[in-house]
Structure 1
Amino acid sequence: MADIIARQHVAGIHSKQPWFVLSASQFYTHQTPKHPYISHFYSFTMDSEAGETIAIPDGCVDLLFDCDNENPASLVCGTTLQAREVRFNPHHSYFGVRFIPGIVPDFLNVIAAELIEQQSSLTDVVCDSNYICEQVVKADSFMARVNLINSFLEQKQARIPSRLTSQLVAKICAEKGNIQVQDLERYSGYTTRTLQRQFQQDIGLTPKTFIRAIRCQSAVYSINHLDNVTFTDLASGLGFSDQAHFLREFKKLVHVTPMQYQHKVKQNQYLDHLTTW
């Protein structure tokens, strides 16, 4: 029962890549209760002017399909550790599935650490995946692709992390990243060395790095969804020692300052880009 509750807490963190949303003409997203280890499915088409965009830390693994009929591609993408540029093809339609933070699919023929800041061809790391890649590209709608991946995943398993990692991932997400490693020591009763070893084995990240990713997502989510958020309150609520520390960390992980990002969100009407199925 405790593991189920822990997964539900983490599943409540629906991490998105905000720059992908802002760079897309429309960004479709769908949550499903069918697979407890999936955060959501998503689909988008890049605007003609959007070539390069920014990926930010999210602590997640994605399966991403470029559904162009002439030049399709399928990738497994691990989380980045700081803001970095990624390139999409203008006018191409992309479809993805994001696993909840801290979950690494068990059907990938790589260890968790090898996914960090990497993009690998899906057919290189998943046996017998050519068929599903072809079917996803050929599908004529977003929900048809969702159903194909749901059926594919019914035959697969998630790489279930240890009970310790599961509980601590849930705790970090419940606290929105406002927690220190020493707090995790007291919460779990284990030393920092043990926590680091177990985290890296299970999800390829240290507890501190995972905390940074979740805190980054929490800050971005607040700016995206709250009209009157102040950076002083946001910094304090996320446990930063002062606003200057928050500003430096945000720019490192999101590529711009909080004020610049907030302006971009309002100027481009972030929420209007999102369509939920």
Structure 2
Amino acid sequence: MSTNSLVSHLARIRSKQPWLVMNAAEKFSVSGSNHKSISHFYSFQPKASVEQTFAIPDGCVDILFDCDGSNPNAAVFGTPLEAITIELNKDHRYFGARFVSGVMPDFLDLSAAELIGRHYDLLDVVPQANQLFNEIVNSTDFSQQAAFFGKFIETQNERKPSMLTAQVLRNIYDSEGSVRINELEDKTGYSARTLQRQFGADMGMSPKAFCRIVRCQSAVYGLNHREKVTFSDLACDLGFSDQSHFLREFKKLVNATPLDYLNRVKHQNYLESIQYL
């Protein structure tokens, strides 16, 4: 599978951070990107009443700029493996760039494993980003910020995964995360040990961990977009052994039960909170 084909396939994968959307004071602004490694750009200001915001597993690398006039900063966030608390300043405006799920930016002076569940100061790991940082934090226009980042990313190289990892990713996405390691052995012709080693080198985690992320995102998407949701049907669709397994897994990865999450989404008019530009 070519790199272009992989990125094209990855671009179809959904990546959601619902707590950022639901905890935005106003509209959560989203803009697409012409660059194949960027999923989208986003901008928001947290609600003053929110005490905690959570990030959930999405398989993505985010670069988040705090555009405060007196003390701006920017951080690189790797995907968490479970729901984690993130600290946001309630009166600050944020701009973010989210990479396509599974894409590891090559301009970061970090391995894939070093990114998992961690964050770093942007200028510590991307010394050449000084101009980008100044342009974005000194702008109040979302479209202009996206253009600045788009111009920067065009000058950077891609970190290409191995052909084996590309094949494994495709199978994980096609199954919405329900494929098992023995099935991956059959599909790729490689042993579980080889699959684990190569995938870990490229992605910083095991295929099983990435499957959990994709199933988590698929569950969130289903709750966000289905008009009628039956938890038992959703659990079955995503390959869970039973509904109780699905409920436990969802709570661990999203920090809410499916029912609590569904009620919150409906109460917040989740989809109406997103402003597409």
| Deviation of the 1:47 alpha carbon | 0.8
In the other structure, the counterpart of 1:242 is 242
1:47-66 matches, within 5 Å, as 47-66=47-66
Determine if contact 2:76/2:119 at 8 Å carries over to the other structure.
Answer: yes
Q: In 2, Cα distance between the equivalents of 1:65 and 1:201?
A: 28
In the other structure, the counterpart of 1:204 is 204
Q: In 2, Cα distance between the equivalents of 1:266 and 1:14?
A: 20
Identical counterparts, % of pairs = 47
| Deviation of the 1:180 alpha carbon | 1.4
Determine if contact 2:64/2:75 at 8 Å carries over to the other structure.
Answer: yes
The worse-fitting range, judged by mean Cα deviation, of 234-243 and 64-73 is 64-73
Determine if contact 1:37/1:103 at 8 Å carries over to the other structure.
Answer: yes
In the other structure, the counterpart of 1:168 is 168
The worse-fitting range, judged by mean Cα deviation, of 169-178 and 71-80 is 169-178
Q: Name stretches of at least 5 consecutive residues in structure 2 with no aligned partner.
A: none
Q: Name stretches of at least 5 consecutive residues in structure 1 with no aligned partner.
A: none
Structure 2: which amino acid aligns with 1:44? F
Q: In 2, Cα distance between the equivalents of 1:172 and 1:128?
A: 34
Match of 2:200, SS state, is helix
| Deviation of the 1:170 alpha carbon | 2.2
The structure 1 segments of at least 4 consecutive aligned residues displaced by more than 6 Å after TM superposition are: none
Q: In 1, Cα distance between the equivalents of 2:243 and 2:210?
A: 21
In the other structure, the counterpart of 1:27 is 28
Q: In 2, Cα distance between the equivalents of 1:68 and 1:181?
A: 46
Cα root mean square deviation, aligned:
1.2
Q: In 1, Cα distance between the equivalents of 2:183 and 2:276?
A: 36
Deviations 1:67-93 (A, max 9, x none): 111111100000101011111110211
Deviations 1:133-182 (A, max 9, x none): 11101122111011000110111012111111122212212222121122
| Deviation of the 1:55 alpha carbon | 0.9
Match of 2:173, SS state, is helix
Indicate whether 1:83 and 2:87 are aligned.
no
Q: In 1, Cα distance between the equivalents of 2:14 and 2:245?
A: 25
| Deviation of the 1:40 alpha carbon | 1.1
In the other structure, the counterpart of 2:113 is 113
Structure 1: which amino acid aligns with 2:112? A
In the other structure, the counterpart of 1:144 is 144
| Deviation of the 1:2 alpha carbon | 4.3
**Bigger fraction of residues in strand:** 1
In the other structure, the counterpart of 1:97 is 97
Match of 1:97, SS state, is strand
Q: In 1, Cα distance between the equivalents of 2:139 and 2:178?
A: 41
Q: What is the TM-score normalised by the length of structure 2?
A: 0.96
Q: What is the TM-score normalised by the length of structure 1?
A: 0.96
In the other structure, the counterpart of 1:69 is 69
In the other structure, the counterpart of 1:185 is 185
Match of 1:108, SS state, is coil
Q: In 2, Cα distance between the equivalents of 1:44 and 1:83?
A: 20
Match of 2:128, SS state, is coil
| Deviation of the 1:259 alpha carbon | 0.5
Judged with a 3 Å threshold, the aligned counterparts in structure 2 of structure 1 residues 205 and 50 are, in CA distance, closer, same or farther, namely same
Determine if contact 1:66/1:72 at 8 Å carries over to the other structure.
Answer: yes
In the other structure, the counterpart of 2:221 is 221
Q: In 2, Cα distance between the equivalents of 1:183 and 1:43?
A: 40
Structure 2: which amino acid aligns with 1:28? S
Q: In 1, Cα distance between the equivalents of 2:166 and 2:29?
A: 29
Match of 1:129, SS state, is helix
